[in-house]
Amino acid sequence: MEVDVQLLRLSVSWPPRDFHRMEQARKAGFPAPDYVGLYAVEDNRVVSTVRVVRLPFTFPDLRTETVSVIQSVITRRDCRGRGLARELINRVNTREREAGSKFSLLWTEHSLQAHQLYEHMGYRDVYTVDLAQRAPSRRAAASPNYAFRRVKDDDVAKVEQLHKTATQGRIGFTPRNRGFLNSILKLGLDESHPLHLILKEGVPVGYLALEEAPSWVKVSEVVMEGGPTNTTSLIADLERISVRRWLSIWNTFVRDSMPVLKSHRYVHGTGDRVLMSLPLESSLLLDQESLLGVTDPRFTCQALDYF
């Protein structure tokens, strides 16, 4: 029935992700549980799917626990309205509660009908992505401070170390699973967020997720040695490579660098993408934002933390 599953993914404009490659990625460090997901089958065809990942999450008291995250929720168009996705998610959450997880998290968008489904199930919006945008500039910086190079397989360990160092003492989606980055490279998931090393005189000092098109440049993950002290120089170089194109910057870097971004005439806003949370223990139902620390300035959430 794998063809049914891949057709469902194509029906919502997601590329196929075959089971063999998923198993390879899981062995390499992709944090899926052994059952990976649940599928509703009717008349020998797959009609609805839900997958789950388990991620480490650091809470405000610096305690790290595993949280469960829901992904790949799809139902055949001719089978919608029957509660299939709701039933699958409930069954996944039962399994995850029994496995010891206290929170079920998922990403969606306010504009999607699925957002209402999740609300009816008890999920609540807890975090909306920060973004900053600047109109095209017609003049580039006189000289670059940094160079950018696409991440290769040999760079994975360095990128993982940069992220680990930069997120020490922070809360949220940290630390990342060992092997996580290598696993998504094997899955081909990095194409959505192409990673580039940030080089200073040929030496890696950070990395970023950089997407480019003829009229825009998007930066959705930035990790730098030295943190905010290098922000001004990095922003100048991003403006240099995006000259005559719209430049948008997303996620934690925006929150951390707000004074510098405002001085460079960036407009701050929030995206349509939202993180939703459902506690799997009734004692955790109140004040989920505080429990998860999403309003704490130490909170970190980057492009590779979308699931």
At residue 135, what is the residue type?
Answer: A
Residues in Cβ contact with 37 at an 8 Å cutoff, skipping those fewer than 6 apart:
49, 50, 51, 52, 72, 92
Distance CA 184, CA 24 (A): 10
Would you place residue 191 in the very low, low, confident or very high pLDDT band (cuts 50, 70, 90)?
A: low
> Is the model's pLDDT at 14 over the cut of 90?
no
If one counts every other C-beta atom within 10 angstroms of the C-beta of residue 254, the result is 22
Number of helices (H), then strands (E), belonging to the chain: the values are 10, 13
Q: Among 3.40.980.10, 3.40.50.150, 2.40.50.140, 3.40.630.30, name the CATH number for the domain at 132-270.
A: 3.40.630.30
pLDDT at 142 over 90: no
CA 5 to chain centroid, in Å, comes to 23
Q: What percent of the chain has pLDDT over 90?
A: 67
Q: Where are the domains of the chain?
A: 2-128+272-305, 132-270
Report the pLDDT value the prediction gives residue 190, as an integer from 0 to 100.
59
Torsion of CA 16, 213, 181, 202, to 10 degrees: 150
* Residue pLDDT, tens place only, 103-129: 999 999 988 889 999 999 999 999 999
Q: For residues 298 and 305, what is the distance between their CA atoms, to the nearest angstrom? A: 15
Please state the rounded mean pLDDT for residues 269-286. Answer: 87
> Residue 172 — very low, low, confident or very high, per pLDDT cuts 50/70/90?
very high
**In this model, does residue 23 exceed pLDDT 70?**
yes
Rounded Cα distance between 85 and 76, Å, is 10
- 84 pLDDT more than 80: yes
Does residue 276 contact residue 118 with C-beta atoms inside 8 Å?
A: yes
Task: Report the alpha-carbon distance of residue 40 to residue 94 in Å, rounded.
Answer: 16
Beta-bridged to residue 57, according to DSSP, are: 65
CA–CA separation, 274 vs 295, rounded Å?
A: 14
Residues near 74 by Cβ (< 8 Å), separated by ≥ 6? Answer: 8, 9, 11, 12, 14, 48, 49, 85
Q: What are phi and psi of 208, to 5 degrees?
A: -150, 160
Do the Cβ atoms of 293 and 60 come closer than 8 Å?
yes
Q: Can you give the pLDDT at residue 27?
A: 85
Which residues have a Cβ under 8 Å from the Cβ of 82 and sit 6 or more positions away?
A: none
Give the dihedral sign, CA 25/27/29/34: positive
Q: Collapse the DSSP code of 1 into the 3-class scheme (helix H, G, I; strand E, B; otherwise coil) and give the result.
A: coil
Give the length of the chain: 307
pLDDT for position 21 = 83
The pLDDT of residue 140: 67
Q: Which CATH number does the domain 2-128+272-305 belong to among 3.30.70.20, 3.40.630.30, 1.10.357.10, 3.40.1410.10? A: 3.40.630.30
pTM of the model: 0.91
Distance CA 241, CA 198 (A): 13
Strand ranges inside 103-244, DSSP E = 103-109, 124-134, 147-150, 171-172, 195-200, 203-212, 216-224
The mean of the pLDDT values for the chain is 90
Do domains 2-128+272-305 and 132-270 share one topology? The answer is yes
- The confidence score (pLDDT) of residue 228 equals 59
